[in-house]
């Protein structure tokens, strides 16, 4: 899929979320091709998960929500960088009325503000290297399903941010691309479920009763969702980093066609289709 403009020899990239499913796969692919991969991990313990992977992989301890941590990582990486892959992220799921405010803040702190903190810190090195920024979004930015509103909102914000950043950096020698996969076979959904259990629900018993059946239906639908391998998303990230003319936006995976069709539907028709996709009926909402 990729058409490198130069040899990967001596090229360097920072990958956030390097111990996540997609981040690890991108790290492995680039390291195997000779890139120096600065693999951003939250803790030294996370770095052990990268032990034994082939290639020049250099763990960097970095918390995207901590500006001091990000600044220290940027200083440690050095003055030149050929690529930045922003793949760190998390999913907060639930119906809007039930999602605690703290969980929503965390969603945007990581997926939007944290991503921009990292990008801002490494832009000087990317300018020096004539590098690329590749942001990992999601197809949910284009079609927001019920129950997935928080993650969809954060990815829509990320998409808008990427669009404006691409234009701002166009004449500064830094290309910017957005890769938007569908549902992938990674640990992120398991982590989302764990977080939801820890966070609990907002609104008290009355709201809990209001959404009890809808929550059960949505959870069952999520559990039966067909997840796809990360390979196509890795290919898209690779193309965005190496192609002479990277695309501004990559819609990735089998879900992409469904999303394109859904966006063309009249809004009332699309709303009914999205409710049906999660097996939500009028009876699902109410005590």
What mean pLDDT do residues 223-244 have? Answer: 89
Within-domain flag for 124: yes
pLDDT at 24 over 70: yes
The pLDDT tens digits for 276-287 are: 988 899 989 877
pLDDT given at position 52: 85
> Three-class SS of residue 99?
coil
Q: Is the pLDDT of residue 224 over 60?
A: yes
Q: Residue 176: which CATH number?
A: 3.40.50.720
- 197 pLDDT more than 80: no
Residue 125 near residue 79, CB atoms below 8 Å: yes
pLDDT confidence band for 255 (50 / 70 / 90): confident
Res 6 pLDDT > 50: no
- 285 lies in a domain? no
Q: Is residue 41 a part of any domain in this protein?
A: yes
Strand, coil or helix: 249: strand
Q: What is the H or E stretch that residue 31 is in?
A: helix 21-32
Average pLDDT for the chain: 89
Query: Averaged over 243-251, what is the pLDDT?
Result: 96
Residue 97 lies in a domain: yes
* Domain annotation covers residue 137: yes
Total domains, the chain: 1
Report how far apart the first and last C-alpha atoms of the chain are (Å, whole number). 52
Does residue 241 fall inside a structural domain? yes
Looking from the CA of 41 toward its CB, the CA atoms found within 13 Å total 19
Could you read off the pLDDT of 26-81 as tens digits, one per residue?
A: 999 999 999 999 999 999 888 888 888 899 999 999 999 999 999 999 999 988 99
Entry pTM: 0.89
Predicted pLDDT of residue 194: 55
In a domain, 74, yes or no: yes
Nearest CA to 106 out of 154, 45, 155, 39 is that of: 154
The HSE-up count of residue 196 (CA atoms within 13 Å, CB side) is 20
Q: How many residues does the chain have?
A: 287
Q: What pLDDT is recorded for position 208?
A: 86
- Among the listed residues 239, 222, 112, 117, the one whose alpha carbon sits nearest the alpha carbon of residue 175: 239
Owning domain of residue 136? 12-280
Inside any domain, residue 4: no
Question: How far apart are the C-alpha atoms of 129 and 137, rounded to whole Å?
Answer: 24
Residues facing residue 217 across a β-bridge: none
What's residue 199's pLDDT? 64
pLDDT of 9 over the 90 cut = no
> Does the pLDDT of residue 1 top 60, yes or no?
no
């Amino acid at each position: 899929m990729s058409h490198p403009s130069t040899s990967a020899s001596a090229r360097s990239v920072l990958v956030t979320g390097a111990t996540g499913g997609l981040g690890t796969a991108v790290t492995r692919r680039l390291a195997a091709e000779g890139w120096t991969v600065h693999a951003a991990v939250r803790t030294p313990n996370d770095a052990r998960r990268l032990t034994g992977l082939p290639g020049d992989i250099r763990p960097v301890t970095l918390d995207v929500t901590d500006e001091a941590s990000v600044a220290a990582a940027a200083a440690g990486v050095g003055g030149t960088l050929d690529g930045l892959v922003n793949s760190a992220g998390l999913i907060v799921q639930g119906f809007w009325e039930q999602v605690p405010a703290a969980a929503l803040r965390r969603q945007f702190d990581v997926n939007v503000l944290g991503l921009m903190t990292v990008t801002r810190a490494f832009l000087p090195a990317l300018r020096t290297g004539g590098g690329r920024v590749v942001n990992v979004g999601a197809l949910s930015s284009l079609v927001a399903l019920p129950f997935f509103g928080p993650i969809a909102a954060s990815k829509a914000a990320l998409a808008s941010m990427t669009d404006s950043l691409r234009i701002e950096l166009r004449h500064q020698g830094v290309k910017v691309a957005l890769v938007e996969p569908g549902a992938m076979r990674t640990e992120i959904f398991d982590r989302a479920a764990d977080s939801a259990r820890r966070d609990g629900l907002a609104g008290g018993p009355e709201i809990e009763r209001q959404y009890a059946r809808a929550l059960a239906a949505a959870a069952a639908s999520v559990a039966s969702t067909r997840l796809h391998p990360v390979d196509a998303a890795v290919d898209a990230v690779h193309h965005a980093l190496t192609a002479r003319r990277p695309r501004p936006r990559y819609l990735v995976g089998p879900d992409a066609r469904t999303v394109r069709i859904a966006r063309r539907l009249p809004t009332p028709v699309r709303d009914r289709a999205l409710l049906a996709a999660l097996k939500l009926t009028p009876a699902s909402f109410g005590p």
